[in-house]
Structure 1
Amino acid sequence: MDAQHTTDVRTTVVRAGLVVVAVVVALALAGAVAPGVAAADDGGEDTAENETAPSYDVSFDEDVPVWIDGAGDDENATDVLRVPLNGSETTGLEPGDEINVTVTASDDDPLEATVVNGNQLAIEYDGPPDVEPGDEIELEVRTSDGEKIDGGTLPLEADIRAVDGQLAVWHPLLGGEEYDVDVEGADTTERLRPGVYGLDSLSPGDSVSITVTNSDDETVVEEDNLEYPGPFALTASVDGNTLEFQQGVAGLEVTSVVPEPVEGQNYTYAGGEIGENGQLELEIEGKDAGDELLLQTAAGVATVETSELDDGLSLPSIEELALVAPLVLSLVIGTSLGAVGSKFRAATAVNLALFAVIGLCLTAAATISVFYLNDISLDPINDFSIEHLLGGIAVLLGTIVAPATYRRFGSSPEPEEPGFTATVTITDGTRDIDEDVTVKYEHASDSSLGGKERVENGSGPVPLPERGVWKLWATDGSHSSEPVEVSHRSSSATLAITSPTTVTIVDESTTRKSKKQKTIPEATVDVVGEPDTELKQHGDGTVTVEPTEDGSSVEVEVSHEKYESRTETVRFGRNEDSTVALPSRTGRVRVTSRIDGVPNEWLSLRLVPNENEPFPDHRANDIPVEPDSNGVVEGDVLIGNYRAEIPAPDGYHEVFDDDEAPLTVTEDDTVDASVNAQFTWTLSSGKDDQAVRIDRIRQDLESLTVHSGRDTAIPAYYASVVESMLEAVESIPDSGHLFVDSDVDVDPDVLANAILETAARTTDAINDAMTTKRTIDLFAACADMPDPGVRWRGEYELEELFELFERLEAEPKEQRRELKERYNAVGERIEDARQDVSETAPAREMHQRAWELFDDTDREREAVVALYASLVVFDAVERLFEHDALRERLSRTVF
């Protein structure tokens, strides 16, 4: 070793020694951590000796309502009263703890409550508490010893909530039995959930008084000036598709979720329950912290303000810092030592070995110092611990990191034999590549002499070990450029890597409509005039075209039997992928749909491609299915073979036969098809033989007009009303479209039987009205008058009856109001007629019997049928005075 080299080594050692001094000073400062760590244990005593009995304090969350978690259909299950707590102000209660809860107004045994998630009490009970009607109810939370917990009293009162899409009254006493809920005169008995009864007539903002009575007519709840307070507020953290609620809403059933704002979003939620951990799983894309949600829950409507999930990170303790201190110091020492040393000398083998030894010594010294300052045993053989393992790893890291850093940042040693550096530029055949690329080299006359170099950003130097002619080529995955020769006299080269091109075939209509482009997976791609060009179809509407030998472009033809063909020029290189949009080949379909021959404007049709048709899935939504008012569906669809279907209406599969018709759509042509759903119900197809009942009623009607010595013109007039009802029943088999058109599900058997039942009662009413003493005397006085054959000029119409079903079936008070108005109007007409005729008994008696037809019916659907029967009889009574032959009879004097 020469003198100059010896001097350089000594200089390096001296400078390294300065680094050592600096690191030791840093260690001395870092050691200040240790006394703090050690002092934490000095004089320490068992903290268990100072532990005291836990103190309890309960705070209820007044912003979240109490609700009843119903047991469902399980007979062995019990209801659970869910009481939200303010978790931050509740002490002494841990999740899973069981405590006692008493009801102040009840003599029942205390209930058992379980603490859920630290912020909720779940109270199991078999039914409402046994309290006297009108008593105020309070929950008192007590310890297992029966002591009342501070803040543990919660009054339970009635309130108004929005449940299952309507406003409802809630109270814990409204349990399993039936109750009558009176809201300022509007009764309801619809039980939505345990403790919840629906209030159809109430609107948001109304202030109402509510009275709830049980089956014994005892007042259970009586509240004045109740208002719907609006949605209650919740806050939740967003973690992907999971909402984690801060309030005590575990076990709360969620039936629907609406994102706010809702523009551009269409989300359907199948329903679920917030888990016992306070989490709810959703699948709404794009929900971020700060967004709001609207939840429909078993406790009412809630607004949810979302925020980012707290990641729970915290600063490490002093003990933890002391534990990892050797690892951190080893990295600091190694990188600092290597970085400083690399500034002075090239990274020769001698220097690398020297700095490895220095790194080993410094890291070992630092590790021993940390062990000493933290009272960690220095005898790992007899007292081994995890600290010794980490210390050994730290020493190994310091030994490796110091020479590695030196090698990374230090200059390379000069080669014994000078070579040269080539400069390369990599392109994709069209433009420069700006990414890192591997360039391989090989000596032109000795293939065993070669290597590779990573060139950054697509261009840069490639060091070659010796002079001469070298072959260079660039590689990118499985693709390489052609070799290019360089020498020290001509050291620049351009290397072109040609890459495969991906062609995506899409439906032009989706591009034209500014929708997301839809691919055509079944499209075929062929290369024009280049049979050796390799193609790879991926089955998803994309095709990879491998480059030609010279990298020149090629022509490809894209075709599909449902689309027009297109030819595209494909170029090779990065960012040369292309998209080919194929225009659709379409024809027009016009499907006429009917129900029993009546144009169908109610049932959606189905236009289904045949199974062997290569029909793109994304075009399914383009098939028209909604008929117009004439029952016609018309629109453009892809060419091919289809079948048009009209299904049986929902709920009427047993009385309707669906229909289908095949059709073939050709390009630029219109094809017509017709489908007709058949209503198969008949008078004798149900469980009751309506035809027999019709004959029996007609016999009863005939008996009204067969009386010796009496005129029967007026009884026959009223009997024609019943005859119109019977004809309506006989027309039901030809009126299937009415059942589809109606918003009310009506069973044909039920309808026919209800009309026939009302017809029979109307017949009896006519007989009663026409056989009073006054009417008999009048008819006897008219016995010499010829039969005028007068019939009621009105008609019993099924369409009008269905309209009454839709309008009044669920409104019994409205039914009675409308009937009362008509009753009074006809009564005034009778009084007016008294001035012109001598006897109004046939009108007055029939007028009263018509009112009683409805008054004797209490079932909803039969009540509407009876209402319509009363209305048509009122009409017949009113029109009685329009017939001269009948007025003449009413004017006959009775002696």
Structure 2
Amino acid sequence: MTRPTDHLGYARTAVAALAVLAAVGFLFAPVAVAQTDTGTFGIDSVDAPGEASVGQEITVEATVENTGGSAANGTVRLDINGSEVDTAETGAVDPNETTTVDLTYTVDGHLPDEADFTVSIGDAEQTGTFTVNRESQFDISITDGPPDSVSAGETVELTAEIENTGGSGETTVSIENDQGTIESRSIELGSGEATEETFSYSTTDRDLGMMDLVVSVADGSDENRSVLVGFSDEEQFAAARTSRDHITVTLAESAVGPNGSVPNGEITLGTDPGTVQWTWNISAFTPENGLYQHRLSVPGSGGIDDTSLVGTTVEVSDTELSDEADLHTVESASFGGWTEDGTLYLPVETVGVTNTSVTDVSLVLAGETVDASLTDPRTVEIDLGTFREEVAPDETTADGFETDGAPVGSASGTSPEIRYLHGEIVLWHPHIEDGVEHTVTVHSIDDAENETSTDATAVRDGAIPVPNDGEAAGANMVTVSVGDLLGEQKVEGPGAETASINATLVDGTTIETDRSLEALSVSSVLIGTESGSTYLSGEDLSIDGERLQVSGVTLEANGGMVELATDAGIVAVQLSPPEGGSIVTTVLFALAMLVGAIVTTVGGFLAGQWKGIHDKVEHTILAAVIIFSVVILAIELVDALGVLSLPVPFDPWGPIGAAVVALFAIGYAGGDKRAGSESDEMGQTGTRQKTTTRHIDITDGTDRINDEVEIEAVRGSGANTDRRTTVTRDGWKKWELPKRKWRFSATLETENRTYTSDPIEADFGRASEPIKLEFDLPDISVTVQDEVRDIRIPDASVRLEANETTETKQTGDGGQVRFDPPPEAETVALVVDHEKYQEATVERELPKDGLNETIELSQRPGQLRVQSRIDGVATGGMNIKIVPEEPALERLYSGEGTKEATTDESGEYVDDRLLVGRYRVSLAPPKQLEHLFETRDDRAVVDQPAETVTLEASFTWSLSAPQRDRIDRIRTELRDVTAKSGVDVAIPQYYASVVETVLDAVESFPERGHYFAEIDADPDTVADATLDAAAEATETISEAMSTKRNLDLFTACSDMSAANVRWTGDFHMKTLIERLNEDPMAARRAFAARADEVADRIDAERGSLSEIAPAREMLERVDIDGSGRGADGIVSVHVAILLLDAIEELFEHRELTERLSRTVF
């Protein structure tokens, strides 16, 4: 946001600029002209973007007009925040003609959130603003690089400067070389801030040749330096593994013949004692930078367990050139202990237990007894916290188990190890705790001293990253210490043989191991078959206890290979084919299936006989429950038989499982069918019959008949006749009858005659659509309806008058009533009355075929006026709820529910369309703030004249103790600002009174709940933001009043009479609430406009006063750059505007202007 002083000192024209905001920028009307050397120009329009991002180039398009009498040319200038950034020449422009020029500018990150721009030609100018969008933007440059060349083994250093030219933010600074990332660091910089980071790296044989060191910031720039890494004086030849699949061989220039060729042109790689040997034929090396290098592909590399190349010798045939290098990877870690979710797991063979049938055992570790358990016959489980309490880090021997007999076995299971854990080289030991930072030091690698330290945080229980991991990975022996935790430990290089476990092939995709796989945390699997190798991870794996299931590949028991990458190292799985099933097992399996079929058949028969089952839905649910239960029992039985091993694996969700479910479903259906046949036979004798329910409608052909109607169902004849009846008054009936064919008819009796419907024959056991019985009635049908709300009115009284006779009936739920036509009547009168409506009467001729009449009723006049108040203050915009409290009203409003409305600005709501009657009225504060208000419901009787209900709510929020303490601290700071000896403090006291007004307003917030009901912001948020703004204003006043110019003035005025002048303005709570409800930018625009006005006033007063520093210094420091876009930012802008008001009012107080008139020497 622009500081107001950016506007000071500029010449202001006599003609004001009129700004019109266009859809794509700011378009300004031609209101200013300027005289150039050769003509007169006016600015016709300016088109500029409304917002731009830091680093973005924007274009401002200016159209100027030559308003003079002859051709002219001029220079158009663009200023951003008072500084010239671009100019453009108009060229020759004829009189009354216009020309358009483009001015460009790249947005600087140091601009405020809302920047000013000015387009001018001569003295004519137009101004506008644009919003600066900020994202952090980091640039990096190398300030101190490494030397041009070093020898392998030397350490190089590089220093880089990182600058944030955007908004505040975090980034990651990294340095990397050809081998990958060396180190990464997180930094945080504010806008415009910069810092330096120094990195160091110890070169190795892997870096021989031209090495590029690249420093970079995430999503930002990078810069690199090249360093030539050569041999030391005594070395001529080296071999190093430079990637997962390649070895690079390097020769010094002195080792190569005069023509650059290598004698014999063969390089041999072999392991000791010669189990692996490869030879590459090369014709010549290509010299580069004084070194001769050749990159060799390693045969058989890749996969989980790379070929172990420990102690590899690489030599050039027929020469003395050779090098011993450890070219293996760490992925062949031995199968030892591992940690998972606070538990230490050890393979049972490492602690020497012989009795694996027990579950809970005691383990003697370093002389201490620790409780343990066997999660399966192959794995020991120990609580990690208990282990750490009982066993010191340097005590690494497990002495064995105590079971019912004597302790047995002795082996080491907790020694430190270097492992490859999910893509990272780590040191493993049970005493390394998750999330704890340790200093990890590599003291030596093989026989070479190293002493590389770093502060690292454990990535999980038992695992912490190893520094210098590239070199540690290729070593036989590494000496490592972890702070004071483990001391120096000799950790063997991970070239040990891969451990193995036994497993049985269940089917083509599933194996079952001899120990639980879940705690091992298997990350990937390598499967080898005759057709090749397949690597699986993620969703392609599924582990359940001892079982591993894979997808996309078929497992083979003979000749197949399976290797698991686990937290305990690489584990080879020894697969055995599935055992064949015995005859006994096969017979038992068949017997289990037969028992299941019998159970479901009996279940189906009993369900068919159960009289409580009436429809297909209930029958289907029961069938599903019975079949599902029996299937589950069968699965459990098969699992129990699994010890005997079936000839074909049983998968409950596979083809065999589906066949079992089908078998049981057929059994159930057969039993149910048999029960149905027997039920049919029983129905003939009247003992028990299967029934169903059908829907029967009674109508006059159009509408349902709401009078009492008797329905009759008849089947059979003579002595076997079955006759049943039922009665309905609702025009419909659900009737339960046996599943047979029935003849249905209905009878309606009136005062004058009896009507019978035509009979209908229907099969109750087959069709499901409703049965319709229709009467041919020459009746009088009346429908009563609300003339406004288009609803039918129940409980209305309808009186039929004809031939000096009357008959009265009440409408039902459908708002209808039916009369028999009076004998010999030619006209009828219908009188309709309802307690909530005005009476209506109609007269109609009576046709011979009856009368169908709809009568609309008008509501009885009534009005409800609701007033909403919070703590006695009328409050608009409040939600209210109106709920009917009479049965008649509830029926009339059924389906509409609670009526909701909102009070107007005066806090009132008037409803003149409610039906007369009793209602409950309640107040509903904003949902997000409802916990801050206590409300009370009220009851109203709507009638004429209007009923007025006042709904009161209490604002329960209050200032917290920390907020009150902060108010006291700010008042103390204010006293410090004005408590100066030897100087006049009238003006500082005047500005301090603005902050006092703000603090008084905050203390009054608990009495101003009616304002907080109008906004979404929480009162605590507004209060805290206001106190933040008050504290900032106090600091602003202190800084402005302490400048040398102001102190000189106040000292010169020390002989003047004390003046206690206070700011006469107000906090303007209502204005603050309006700003909180507006666009956040509206407050900023108001601040900018007010700042311009105050700057103009200071310029105007400059000539009449000796000193304006108390106003100017304050204006320079009233700043909203740091304010955000939320509620806190709007409050900060609001308080800043109050300070601007006070600066302008300074010139209205005689006692203060007298001080500004004092001459300072």
TM-score (ref. length: structure 2)? 0.32
Q: Greater share of helix residues, 1 or 2?
A: 1
